Amino acid sequence: MTDHALATLPPPRKLWVRAVLMLLMCLAFQIDPWVLIVVALLQLGFALFAQEPNPRLQAFGRSVGRYLAQIAGFVSFATETLPFPFSDWPAADL
């Protein structure tokens, strides 16, 4: 690596700041399964009455799953990228 490349790297985050962010992400990780349960119940209703699942809820459910994976990656130190609301909501497309 050159000196120029080293100068462009972002500075490492302080450990106590990361700990606070990890606690916030763990709180979000505890709330999100309830959102997923509501989506599942709504999808069950659509399947019962409309005989097919709602495509918008399918996409939202996929994005919630990706969000949970992003949180798990951040709190386990697998990535330094902060999940939503510090970055964009994950896309639902495959």
Residue 67 to residue 81: CA distance in whole angstroms:
12
pLDDT of 79 reads 87
Residue 1 counted as domain residue: no
Domain count, the chain: 1
Could you list the mean pLDDT of each consecutive 10-residue stretch along the chain, which spans 94 residues? 53 79 92 91 91 89 91 90 87 72
pTM over 0.95: no
The verdict on residue 16 lying in a domain is no
Residue 58 lies in a domain: yes
The candidate with the shortest Cα–Cα distance to 21, out of 90, 88, 80, is: 80
Domain ranges, residue 94: 21-94
- What would the two tokens of residue 57 be? 């809820």
